[in-house]
Amino acid sequence: MTDYAQFFGADSPLAEYVAGFAPRSQQQQMADAVGEALDGSQILVVEAGTGIGKTFAYLVPALLSGRRVIISTGTRNLQDQLFKRDLPTITQAIGRPVRVALLKGRSNYLCRHRLSLAAEEGRGSEWLRAIRHWASYTSAGDKAELREIPEDAPIWPAVTSTIDNCLGSECPQYDECHVVQARRAAQDADIVIVNHHLLLADFALKEEGFGELLPGADACIIDEAHQIPEVAANFFGVSVSARQVSNLVRDTVAELVNAGQSEAEWRKPGDELDRTLSELTLALAGTSGRQNWDDSVGDKSRQALDAVRESLTAFDEALGPLAGHSSGLDSCGERAGAIIARLDQICGDTEASIEGLRWVDVQRRGFSLNLTPFDVAERLAELISRHAGSWVFTSATLAVGEDFSHFLSRTGINDALTLRLDSPFDFERNTLLFLPNKLPLPAAPDYTRCVCEAVRPLIEAAGGGVFLLFTSYRALHEAAELFAENGELSLPNPLFVQGEAPREALLNQFREHGHAVLLGTASFWEGVDVRGEALRLVIIDKLPFASPGDPVMQARLEAIRRAGGNPFNEYQLPQAVLSLKQGVGRLIRDHDDFGIAVLCDPRIRTRNYGRVFLRSLPPMPITDSIHDACDFFDNRQAFELTAPA
């Protein structure tokens, strides 16, 4: 068995290549456990607190094992970090070069065929010209290379492919396909880096025509594993969006032109489908956000949906006589049939329909109709057991206190080794947990105003460097108005508000300024890393219980009730605890960091379940005195904490 002390001890070769490397007993413990799991084909679940260095703790054993390993992450940014920074550093430090491949979903790669179609349509935008120039020299075709075009720019869907519109081996540019090349590289690699959705796609054999990765892998390491149940619920569900239907019509028109079929009669079924789709969009316009199917799909919407299904069928039938004219048109016909089949499942008109919740998500630019399974644990367990070998699941938030049962039950894992490792950071000396007193319960109509008034003195004492995290957009926008330059509680600090710019742009501005205040919700609770003096105060408005009005949440709770369980104790409470751990985890990201976490919700002290939250947080001294909290910053002399003029 490998002695990992030589890699994580005082004389580690990593010290020469990793700035600030220091031995951490927790990191070595985790490496030992991962190594044993890889050697013994075991399932290991590890909660690794912030600062342990879990990435290196699983990468070193993976590299030294000599096995073929799949590493799955939660985000593309973490994929890029592993591929471009962490793995090259470790392989150089330990002198063990391996073949590494980075594999993303199809929508991340340029599709040369669809680029040709976009050019023929005469889109002619600056973005399209930039992409055509980039296409002339790129070898990987990864759109992350072209940083000058925003990731969510509307041009990308026109020049990338999905599983629906990819032509596979029938594509005229198959030999130059970047997805095919990336898959081939992955087949030959020792370490393959994927994301959770792609891992599940390979599990379920959904991407036919490109071969499989997992049958040849000896082990899977799942980083940010707390995301897996939600990703699986979305993946195993069924969805049809307005964009999918409109893209089908647009792509069919492009393929008709490409195949020389430009007669007007070929366009009539597409025009009719566009018309009925617009009517359904208008019928659903009275609702917003995620809504239960029965609550939002009234008679008018059902009639409009029936009209869409009829026009989709007519559209599919119109493409029938064109079969064989081109692979592109054949693909469009297959897509139409697939959308019809998914709609039949969602509407419950087929035996293939899964047991789950039917719901509608209505947004400003369109809608989606969805069928989400109540529980994916059984399906995940089946897939994991089908692929024998070692499995390592790790994250900073997997346990409620010392208990892993919530995560294990959601993933269907029954026989696993578990390990919880505390952060090596000195929370008792460098942090404070402030629980304001005299705040009303969150249901009070003026709750957000009271929170803002209560924390404003502390924001001033900190001199900025503040994350104010909310559980709802409504509260975020109310606080933004109060703290704005002309607001009633105006702050002297720069104010950054989620939604005003892309997340990474806001974070970069926040870091660079050092004394700013950032208001955020959902996406800022996790996966955000601000080290040093730029972030020294994290304020959380409420305990992050998921909205009871969310239809997917309602369905999950009802499924637990039907099974004889307790929805609050089995789902709502543990999920909220894990979310709170993520939010508080934004505060301390390095050994020299310091700061205060503020939990405004009085229920953490007045409800019995409050103790569950507190026991799950790092060992932070607790106070309810605003004076003690302000003194914490006054007594810190390490940083200049004066707010900008």
Reduced to 3 states, what is the DSSP secondary structure of residue 174?
helix
- Label residue 484 exposed, middle or buried (CB < 10 Å: 0-12, 13-18, 19+): middle
Rounded distance, CA 79 to CA 194, Å? 7
Check residues 243 and 642 and name the one with the higher pLDDT.
243
Q: Binning pLDDT at 50, 70 and 90, where does residue 135 land?
A: very high
pLDDT at 642 over 50: no
The angle formed by the CA atoms of residues 582, 584 and 585, to the nearest 5 degrees, is 60
Complete DSSP assignment for 248-307: HHHHHHHHHHHTT---GGGTHHHHHHHHHHHHHHHHTTT--EEEEHHHH--HHHHHHHHH
Per-domain boundaries in the chain = 5-98+190-235+376-421, 106-178, 238-373, 427-634
**Pairing assessment for the beta strands 595-599 and 622-623 based on DSSP bridges:** unpaired
**Pairing assessment for the beta strands 356-363 and 366-373 based on DSSP bridges:** antiparallel
Tell me, rounded to whole angstroms, the distance of Cα 32 from its chain centroid.
Answer: 29
Helix (H) or strand (E) holding 361: strand 356-363
What is the chain's length?
Answer: 645
pLDDT at 641 over 50: no
Rounded distance, CA 453 to CA 262, Å? 65
Q: Which amino acid appears at position 289 of this protein?
A: G
pLDDT digits (tens, 9 = 90+) for 24-42: 999 999 999 999 999 999 9
pLDDT at 263 over 70: no
Q: Binning pLDDT at 50, 70 and 90, where does residue 106 land?
A: confident
Top-tier CATH class for 5-98+190-235+376-421: alpha beta
Cα 291 to Cα 162, 233, 499, 549, distances in angstroms: 27, 17, 23, 9
b/e map of 139-166 (b: 16 or more CB within 10 Å)? ebbbbeebeebeeeeebbbbbbbebbbb
CATH of 427-634, one of 3.40.640.10, 3.40.50.10470, 2.40.160.60, 3.40.50.300: 3.40.50.300
Cα 592 to Cα 20, 394, 535, distances in angstroms: 11, 25, 12
| pLDDT given at position 639 | 42
Question: Which token pair is 571?
Answer: 């789902």
Q: Binning pLDDT at 50, 70 and 90, where does residue 587 land?
A: very high
Do the domains 5-98+190-235+376-421 and 427-634 sit in the same CATH topology, yes or no?
yes
- Which range (332-336, 346-350, 617-621, 633-637) has the least confidence? 633-637
Rounded distance, CA 312 to CA 201, Å? 27
**Pairing assessment for the beta strands 43-48 and 431-434 based on DSSP bridges:** unpaired
What's the mean pLDDT in 380-385?
85
CA neighbours closer than 13 Å in the CB half-sphere of residue 259: 21
Rounded distance, CA 355 to CA 398, Å? 27
Question: Which token pair is 241?
Answer: 């969006």
| pLDDT given at position 215 | 58
What's the mean pLDDT in 133-155?
89
pLDDT at 615 over 90: yes
| pLDDT given at position 563 | 82
Question: pTM score, two decimals?
Answer: 0.88
Check residues 188 and 387 and name the one with the higher pLDDT.
188
pLDDT at 340 over 80: yes
Number of Cβ within 10 Å of residue 69's Cβ equals 26
Number of H helices, E strands in the chain: 28, 18
Question: Which token pair is 445?
Answer: 């109509």
